Structure 1
Amino acid sequence: MRIDPSRCTGCRLCVQYCPARAIFIEDKKATIDESKCFECALCRRVGVCKVEAFVPAEELPWPRSIRSILSDPLTTFRETGVSGRGTEEMKTNDVTQRYGLGEYGLAVDVGRPNVGTSFREIERICVALAKVGVKFEEKNPVTFLMTDASKGTIRDDVKGEVVASAVIESKVPEGKLLEALDALKQVAREVDTVFSVGVISRCREDGTIPALELLSEGGWQVSTRGKTNVGLGRA
């Protein structure tokens, strides 16, 4: 994304909308710091610029295009056909059977608007999980960018790219869930970003959630407000 200086009036209205804090005023004109820009196109999409000074690139080159793919919800990752940062996760599990009994899914949501993250930080988290032995979701864009999914390493050409956020999706056997969470707790002290963790668990026939018992035993405080798949995909 760039700003046409011949159109910009320097009104400053766009500055507050940038989730990367990449827009600044210089010589009474708005300018974008391209090193910080997520290429999310929010500045243009909100329609705050009355003179339409925002000019999107016709086609972003690789690897910069990965910024748009993960930060702009209107784009699709061509290699996996996924729109947005991740997959459907558990939302279609009644059809996909992605998560079975005796195993748990992990969705690590890395970065947030006004914070963001780089793939260098994402790799640190992936490596920590790989050491535990998680299985990364193949259809997730982050997994596609790995050079070795067994080690969680990310290809060198994207490590310097920044995005608003990304989701690391994986699943782990029941016996390794707490170990994986402990690994995330440790790496949280080492990364220069923020992340939240979602645990995905199939319910028992009586409706109880086995992951809650395991997490409680491990001393984890859990918010049970989340997403629930009620099986309508089989209707």
Structure 2
Amino acid sequence: MALVHSELCVGCGKCVPYCPMGAISLSGGVASIDQDECVECGLCTENAICPKKALYAPESFPWPRVLRSEFSNPHCPHRTGVTGRGTEEMKTNDVTGRYRFGKLGFAVELGRPGTGARFRDMEKVTMALAKIPGVHFEEKNPVYALIEDPHSGKMRDDVLDEKVLSGIVEIMIDEAQLPDVLQALKQVEPTLDTVCSVDLISRVQADGSIPALDVVRKLGYYVSPNCKTNLGFGHL
């Protein structure tokens, strides 16, 4: 965990505004870090913020504390081998062609800087989605690695209280299941102690239309369409 050399700290307060979780404060004239709120993002210890070098981090973190760094610090490699919060298909469908016509991808993003998210809230989402027949969790997703039972969506008990900047739950469904998934998320959302957003991944029809968007709008949800075109420069 991020720590303070109290004998070096002069209480200048320069580190306080840099913490995205507001975990750093001044107490008794020296910096103090709320370890429960700290997500080990490394921002305070890796960017020479402190003029006296009073902030430091241990060489390694114990389990399950290490998850905070893996999910929050972009310089920390994740044990799944995924270099981001989600898989390649979160950004482009051209990597594996996973989302075929008739299939939809969902990404439920929990947490943001200033709020964060605990795996306990992510478990609420995975358990709600697991109740829908045919829902397939993306196995290469970092959150999936912590799911103990994919059939129920239950996560490991020892990780539930760990807090990270954000996490993403990825699933794939048939287009016909879209209303069921949105309804499940609508029901679980009030129980979450964090913010969340939903990404819908779909192929575009030959005429440029996206039928799933019409379904979402008819159900009363606001949609902000985005599109990414892969030019294929990586396929030489």
- TM-score above 0.5, yes or no: yes
Q: Are residue 7 (structure 1) and residue 5 (structure 2) matched?
A: no
Tell me by how many angstroms 1:208 deviates. 1.9
In structure 2, how many angstroms separate the alpha carbons of the residues matched to 1:87 and 1:7?
42
Assess if the C-alpha contact under 8 Å between 2:128 and 2:188 holds in 1: yes
Q: How does 1:27-106 map to 2 (within 5 A)?
A: 27-78=28-79, 80-106=80-106
Q: Are residue 26 (structure 1) and residue 27 (structure 2) matched?
A: yes
Q: How does 1:54-203 map to 2 (within 5 A)?
A: 54-78=55-79, 80-133=80-133, 134-203=135-204
Assess if the C-alpha contact under 8 Å between 2:111 and 2:166 holds in 1: yes
Q: Is there any run of 5+ residues in structure 2 with no aligned partner, and where?
A: none
Assess if the C-alpha contact under 8 Å between 1:72 and 1:84 holds in 2: no
Deviation per CA, 1:34-77: give whole Å up to 9, x if none.
Answer: 12110111112343211221111101011000000001111121
Assess if the C-alpha contact under 8 Å between 1:18 and 1:43 holds in 2: yes
In structure 1, how many angstroms separate the alpha carbons of the residues matched to 2:65 and 2:56?
16
In the alignment, residue 204 of structure 1 is paired with which amino acid? Q
Corresponding residue of 1:16: 17
Deviation per CA, 1:209-235: give whole Å up to 9, x if none.
Answer: 2221221232222111x3414352556
Structure 2 vs 1, CA of residues 137 and 231 (structure 1 numbering), >3 Å: closer, same or farther? farther
Tell me by how many angstroms 1:15 deviates. 0.9
Structure 2 vs 1, CA of residues 169 and 63 (structure 1 numbering), >3 Å: closer, same or farther? same
In structure 1, how many angstroms separate the alpha carbons of the residues matched to 2:231 and 2:132?
31
Structure 2 vs 1, CA of residues 90 and 207 (structure 1 numbering), >3 Å: closer, same or farther? farther
Assess if the C-alpha contact under 8 Å between 2:89 and 2:95 holds in 1: no
SS in 2 for 1:176: helix
In the alignment, residue 158 of structure 1 is paired with which amino acid? V
SS in 2 for 1:129: helix
What TM-score does the superposition give when structure 1 sets the normalisation length?
0.94
Tell me by how many angstroms 1:163 deviates. 0.6
Q: Is there any run of 5+ residues in structure 1 with no aligned partner, and where?
A: none
In the alignment, residue 37 of structure 1 is paired with which amino acid? C
Assess if the C-alpha contact under 8 Å between 1:39 and 1:68 holds in 2: yes
Number of equivalences: 233
In structure 1, how many angstroms separate the alpha carbons of the residues matched to 2:21 and 2:111?
11
In structure 2, how many angstroms separate the alpha carbons of the residues matched to 1:126 and 1:83?
22
In the alignment, residue 114 of structure 1 is paired with which amino acid? G
In structure 1, how many angstroms separate the alpha carbons of the residues matched to 2:117 and 2:172?
22
Assess if the C-alpha contact under 8 Å between 2:92 and 2:230 holds in 1: no
SS in 2 for 1:25: strand
Deviation per CA, 1:114-167: give whole Å up to 9, x if none.
Answer: 111111111001111111232111001111100011211110110110111101
In structure 1, how many angstroms separate the alpha carbons of the residues matched to 2:16 and 2:146?
32
SS in 2 for 1:141: coil
The root-mean-square deviation of aligned C-alpha atoms, in Å, is: 1.5
Structure 2 vs 1, CA of residues 58 and 102 (structure 1 numbering), >3 Å: closer, same or farther? same
